[in-house]
A and B are shown apart, each in its own frame.
Chain A
Amino acid sequence: MIKRLLAALSPVVRPELTGNAESPEVDNTAYSPDSRVDLITGANDNTTITDKVCSIVEQKPTIGWWGFFLLAFSVLGLLGIFVPFLIFWGVGTWGVNNPVGWGYAIVNFVFWVGIGHAGTLISAILFLFRQKWRTSINRAAEAMTIFAVICAGMFPGIHVGRAWFAYWMFPLPNQMELWPNFRSPLIWDVFAVGTYFTVSLLFWYMGMIPDLATLRDRAKHSVRKIAYGALSLGWTGSNRQWHVYERSYLLLAALATPLVLSVHSVVSFDFAVSQVPGWHTTIFPPYFVAGAIFSGFAMVLTLLVPARQLFGLKDVITLKHLENMNKIIMLTGLLVGYAYSQEFFMAWYGGVKVEKFAFINRAFGQYAWAYWIMVSCNVLAPQIFWFKKMRTNIWVMFAVSIFVNIGMWFERFVITVTSLANDYTSSAWDYYSPKLADVMIMLGAFGLFFTLFALFCRFLPFIAMSEVRGVLADQAHSRAAASARHSSEAAADSASGS
């Protein structure tokens, strides 16, 4: 059983397990000036694409899926154990102390919010830039966004000392006639993350409506019929619907773009607006946004590389797609590295004692180990993508994506903990170290994330079919045009020849 499970999870395609036809790896990353490379490889047309994507949902779940789901779900169980324990005993079950009032909870919060940035970025910004290659990955990326934000949203709720009063952060009328303090970055957070979740959800769902209609029209089982029927709201693919839909989608994309930038800026305000040396930095908003995109793309890779194998989607999510993402990872990695160096420059240039100390202490102090893990994972690891061979190698990119995930977690750890542990009053300095509850709840969040993702793969269209069809159409056109050009040239040659 275990062996089969591993086999199923292994990237080697096992049609009888994946239930998908063999889809060969095609290198479509070569750049040829005259003809545009195909984003969708293989002999694919509307029919095959539709069958491919729908079959993931319509066929029995593979053992691979079951293995993944059960594993994730059992890890999610940790939350069920440790969160009630935390609420019952108090925040002291965590490692936080004076002066380090924020520990893993906030680290995880920022980490997950960061992860949650790639999806909307891919859907919205790449959409506005008319990047066709987004269409194969945006659905999965958006789903990931939603789930990551769910994980993130959990932490502020449980990290407060009296979770049962957390609702006081919302401006609700009450007998105390008290309102929240809108000068506090935490309130900005509530609004930013709340808005981000809502908008991402709308965006995701709206994008799915046509594909849900496809599933509806292919559904055999009555439960599926009703479910997908209800979800697709009665979509008929009428062009008048498409017209309004397209415009609405465009507007949402236009709205989501500034939103996505604002959210992590606001999250960075939690630190930047305070006066803790190491937090009180104007570079934080862009720095955080870059980091968020960085980690987000890494997580998308981590999810898609195995997924395209398991579901036999190599010809839809092609090397080209992966390579593009790797390029972005490399770019944002450099941005993040630049931010790291800038912090030191500003500390030196600003000449504020405690500021200087904060950063020197970060790199060489008691948390140096964390700092260097961060640097090596975030700045060094992605550099390997300078080489095309590496950029297009499945195993390398998967490894790098894991490194980046780790590195970005540590970035948040370094920022949050080292700054607090040694701030102004040296007599109050202390060392923060996590307790079991910290670690378990962190793992539990990952469980939650992967469980949700597994369910998504199982029940919702993994690829934005309707959009891919559009891409196919364009490909067909350009291919036709190209062949026409060739034939006319050939004719001209023969004419001149005679």
Chain B
Amino acid sequence: MSSIKETQKNSSQGKALWRSLDEFADTDEFRALVEKEFPNHAPELFHSTSRRHFLKVMGASVALAGGLAGCRWPQQQILPHTSRPEGRDPGAPVSYASCWEQQEVAEGVLVTSYDGRPIRVDGNGDHPSHRGSTTAQMQASVLGMYDPGRSSQPSHVTADGHASAEWLGAISALRKAGRSGKVAVLAAPSSSMALSAMRNRLLREVADSSWHEWAPLHRDSERLGTAQLFGRPMRPVADLSAAQVLVCLDADPLMNHPASLQHSSDWAALRTSADDDEPILSRVWSVESTLSVTGGVADVRIPARTADIPRIAAQLAAATGVQLPADVAAAVASAPPSTDDRIEQMAADLKSHQGSCLLMAGDRQPAEVHALVHAMNVALGAVGKTLSYAEVAHGERPAHIDDLQRLADRIGQGEVETLLLIGVNPVYDAPAIGKSWKDLIGQVPLSMHLGLYDDETAGVCQWHLNQTHFLEEWGDGRSWDGTVTLRQPLIAPLYSGRSALEVISAVVDDEAKSGHDIVRGVLQPLAPKDFESSWKKWLHDGFVAGTANTVASAPDVTGGWGPALESAMQTVSGKEIVFLPDHSLFDGRYANNGWLQELPDPITKVAWDNCALISPVLGSELGVKNGDLIDLSVAGANLSMPAFLLPGQNRDSIGVALGYGRLISDRAAGRLSRKPSLYQIADGVGFDTYTLRDADAVRAGYASVSVSRGEGNYPLATTQDHNPVRPEDFMGDLEFNEEQRKIGEFVRVVDTGFNPDASEVKAQVEEAGPHHPDLESPWTEHKYRGQRWAMSIDLNVCTGCSSCVVACQSENNIAVVGKDELAYGREMHWIRIDRYFRGDDVENPEVVHQPLTCNQCENAPCEQVCPVAATVHNEEGLNDMVYNRCIGTRYCSNNCPYKVRRFNYFNNTKNPSATEQMGYNPDVTVRARGVMEKCTYCVQRINRSKIKAHNEKRDLVDGDVMPACAQSCPTHAITFGDLADPKSQVSLTQKSHRAYKMLAELNVKPRTSFLAKLRNPAPREEG
């Protein structure tokens, strides 16, 4: 702790950039490293099991027959269709519109399919509530579908142990239950009209039936809060592109929000507008306990306890002139002066931006806070400008936790004969209601589980039915603004699974209907005239135009304040624990997805684990450093998990991500074919934090916790700061190291106001760069005559969401290597998002993200050193990597100043399951062992577009070529194109006054430029 103060003192002048706390605070880590000769790796011969685990799991091996000239390789067959479908060309990609759903909100997607094999998910650009970008999870869903760990068949556990099961048996069981009544359904909430129709049928047609919904991460408080304020539930549809001042109270609209994609591109619009002729730069305020993605890009961030935010909200409300009930007002007045002098500043900002400001509350906050927030939005004239409202489908339903209570009661009273669990996993993620859900389900005479995985809940049910993946089924959903979005299957169910619709139909219909018919039936009324033609159009577009159910006029405030408002303000002091959705696994449903497991967390850069995020201050109080185990105890439940000292974490708050510590078995496979279940990669990864989350915690959004130092240490795998060097230990203050490390040159940040001055910014950006003489080559350099592909990355709008990382992984068949190899520094991601902290305040630093991938240097240092010319330049300035020529000297990687080359240390793509092979992108070679690889600017896409254009006897135009990363980026931070075309977007961005090149002084002439980050901090009076 003392040393933290000290370093602050040392680097008080100017803002220092640093990578991780290990560098910043004076832990013993470094000294230990210096003393220990070979730290943390006891020499081991056999690489760890989990890695070999992975060899089996990921990828197909392709023999690079380059050198074996002559030998006849295995005979291959050509199996043509017997009759080829209309307009289907073998080997040509086709895209279909469909939809992906999470948190009962549908996102329109565009799925690319080769020969009937879906291989990529992109955003549906035509969709009204969508900008064509994608989240990491949406793209990873392809791998999810091909996941060999999915349950492959129904299984029925009878009293006398296991017995095989077929769908036929399951169907008849379902129908029987439907006839005899007393059916209770516990389903994941969904926006599907077809599903709610089936739900109504079931409630109507099955005697004594009940329908319950459960999702561990839901948005109840928003619904209830708006209901309190407006008299009926509403869904706020924000337009961040108009919000010059955005205040997020524990909200993460850019990452953990159903409309995050829309929010992201809107928010980005108000950052890039800083380059316009009348520059405007928005200001984002964030009040939160744990550093979120939005908090990371916030201009002003206030680390507050989740429990304190209601009071802050009330204070803000009072300051912005919202009429509060007397007692609350009194409470606010009497409340201790706010922790941070910035509340007033925030209020001032809001008032000075009437109509162009917006407040948002997070779903962890109680309904009262949402009521306050919307009261403020109304008072500040946000409604109609930056905010509109949409109707909520059957919003009258109770809160999820109460719904669980209802179900538990019914089970207790024996009113449930058959419990049908659809796409839910209560045994894992639901808090005990009196009894644990294992026992509750055990009480029910007949329990049937429909799910993608043979998971924790399936394990305690008599029946497990394998559900279809969303890419395999018919369905529908409503996007955030209510637009009806269609879902069509891209492939016949791999494991003959059935969708929720079909299963419910099996309950209520004698002849189970197909999903296709159900959906058509339900959507028929939406068709204006003849159904078939509009159905065709809907399928093509992926949505039904004009079905957004926005509320026409601003709702009037009925002013019903929740009774709990005052109590919400009476916060208990002490340490709190906050349960966060995981940035990769969300609530745990994606735990078996290798891409997402290996995706580093945007903030912590930890992969393959969740850890307890604690403040550095708390860390030094407890005397723990990263990876040390700490004991958490909440209302009797205990959990020991590794600590991660996260700068910016509130010192009284502990953040834990949900969704880890899964136990997915493969009973069916294990029983029927004795196949060792090695595909359940989620098993035993991370820590199950649901065990700490009881019903009260679900209601309050936090829980008070007692924390103590635990026994021992747990290795965490990060893709950054593997082993921090801490030169300050011997080289004095931080700035000196800063200078040594050039981080300040890599990521250039300029602090400005609402209207940044271009020339000023330009000056500062240049000033941040190194001073070097004019660069000349001793020889006449090559002149590029044709297209000159280039990329520019705008640090100003990069949120670090990591969507590009997964986009690249799925487009380029990048292998997953597993935790151990990752910890060894052998990650394969072609894009690395470097996260830097900025500023002197460990408790509240700024965050800068820098996506780093091959810069395609014109004077590429890697090329010259390759003895076999496996990496050479092409006429368009691309740094071609020829896998089949590579012999693996790794010299190129050594000589790459950006360290963006990746080497296959083992055969990462070995013995893939048949399904995994189907998931590969056929346009990209699957790399074998001993071969170097790296970003190619998606050269396969460049070539495809070029061939297409030339076949059509035309030249390429700007936008014809779009690399996967640029296509997926929610904020469009990445622009790609041809520098030879002066009007191309990339030429413009590279000419921007914010543009600079990384390590340009080496005269490597990178083709990738970065655009400096602009920040709009609130001026702080010193004192």
Contact = CB atoms under 8 A, between A and B. Distances in A.
A175 B71 CA distance: 13
B902 A161 contact: no
Contact of A429 (B67, B725, B826): B725
B45 A180 contact: no
A424 B33 contact: no
A93 B52 CA distance: 12
A353 B740 contact: yes
Given A180-B868, A366-B725, A423-B897, A165 B861 contact: no
A366 B723 CA distance: 9
B897 A425 contact: yes
Contact of B890 (A85, A96, A180, A353): A96
Interface string B715-746: 00000111111010011000001011111001
A368 interface: yes
B894 to A, nearest CB: 5
B348 to A, nearest CB: 38
B824 A436 contact: no
A424 B742 contact: yes
In this complex, the member of A100, A176, A364, A366 whose beta carbon has the largest number of chain B beta carbons within 10 angstroms is: A366
A275 B860 CA distance: 11
Contact of B40 (A102, A162, A185, A433): A433
B714 interface: no
B761 to A, nearest CB: 24
B868 to A, nearest CB: 5
Contact of A161 (B39, B737, B890): B890
B67 A184 contact: no
Interface in A398-446: 420, 422-431, 433-439
Interface in A66-97: 85, 89-93, 95-97
Interface stretch (B78-86, B413-421, B880-888): B880-888
B891 A431 contact: no
A435 B864 contact: no
A276 interface: yes
B834 interface: yes
A276 to B, nearest CB: 6
Given A98-B893, A176-B66, A422-B725, A366 B867 contact: no
Contact of A274 (B35, B44, B894): B894
A361 B889 contact: no
A101 interface: yes
Interface string B868-906: 110010000000000001111111011101110111111
B43 A162 contact: no
A99 B37 contact: no
Contacts of B742: 353-354, 424, 426
A24 to B, nearest CB: 45
Interface string B549-565: 00000000000000000
Interface string A162-177: 1011101100001110
Interface string B18-54: 0100000000001001110111110111010000000
Contacts of A162: 886-888, 929-931
Contacts of A273: 864-865
A4 B551 CA distance: 101
Contacts of B932: 161
A5 interface: no
B722 A431 contact: yes
A99 B862 CA distance: 14
B929 to A, nearest CB: 5
Interface in B897-946: 897-899, 901-907, 929-932
A91 B66 contact: no
B888 A160 contact: yes
A433 B37 CA distance: 9
Contact of A357 (B727, B746, B902): B727
Contacts of A98: 825-827, 893, 899, 901-903
Contacts of A431: 33, 39-40, 722-723
A356 B740 contact: yes
A174 B929 CA distance: 23
A161 B725 contact: no
Contact of B930 (A161, A184, A366): A161
B931 A161 contact: yes
B976 to A, nearest CB: 22
Contacts of A186: 865, 867, 889, 891
A169 B834 contact: no
Interface residues of A, number: 70
B999 interface: yes
A369 interface: yes
A275 B739 CA distance: 19
A255 interface: no
A162 B890 CA distance: 11
A463 B615 CA distance: 72
A389 interface: no
Interface string B336-377: 000000000000000000000000000000000000000000
A416 to B, nearest CB: 9
A90 B867 contact: no
Contacts of A360: 727, 730-731, 740
A365 interface: yes
A334 B938 CA distance: 53
A190 B868 CA distance: 12
A357 B725 CA distance: 11
A101 B894 contact: yes
Contacts of B548: none
A176 B66 CA distance: 9
Contacts of B865: 184-186, 273-274
A436 B852 CA distance: 33
A178 B869 contact: yes
Contacts of A425: 746, 834, 852, 897-899
A366 B725 CA distance: 7
Contacts of A424: 742, 897-899, 999
A88 to B, nearest CB: 10
Interface string B432-446: 000000000000000
Contact of A275 (B821, B852, B861): B861
A420 B901 CA distance: 14
A105 to B, nearest CB: 10
Nearest to A166: B887
A101 B43 contact: no
B259 interface: no
B906 A92 contact: yes
B69 interface: yes
Given A102-B894, A427-B834, A160 B930 contact: yes
Interface in B508-547: none
Contacts of B721: 427, 429
B867 A275 contact: no
A101 B725 contact: no
A183 interface: yes
Given A162-B929, A187-B867, 14 more contacts: A85-B45, A101-B891, A102-B891, A165-B887, A168-B868, A174-B69, A176-B66, A360-B727, A425-B834, A427-B850, A428-B832, A428-B899, A433-B39, A433-B43
Interface of B: 19, 30, 33-35, 37-41, 43-45, 47, 66-67, 69-70, 720-725, 727, 730-731, 737, 739-743, 746, 770, 821, 824-827, 832, 834, 836, 850, 852, 861, 863-869, 872, 885-891, 893-895, 897-899, 901-907, 929-932, 999, 1002
17 contacts: A91-B890, A101-B891, A101-B893, A101-B894, A162-B888, A178-B885, A181-B864, A181-B869, A353-B739, A360-B740, A366-B723, A424-B897, A427-B850, A429-B721, A429-B725, A430-B825, A436-B43
Question: What 10 pairs between A and B have smallest CB-CB spacing?
Answer: A161-B888, A161-B930, A92-B905, A101-B890, A431-B723, A97-B825, A428-B899, A357-B740, A433-B38, A186-B867
Interface of A: 85, 89-93, 95-102, 159-162, 164-166, 168-169, 174-176, 178-181, 183-187, 190, 270, 273-276, 353-354, 356-357, 360-361, 364-366, 368-369, 420, 422-431, 433-439
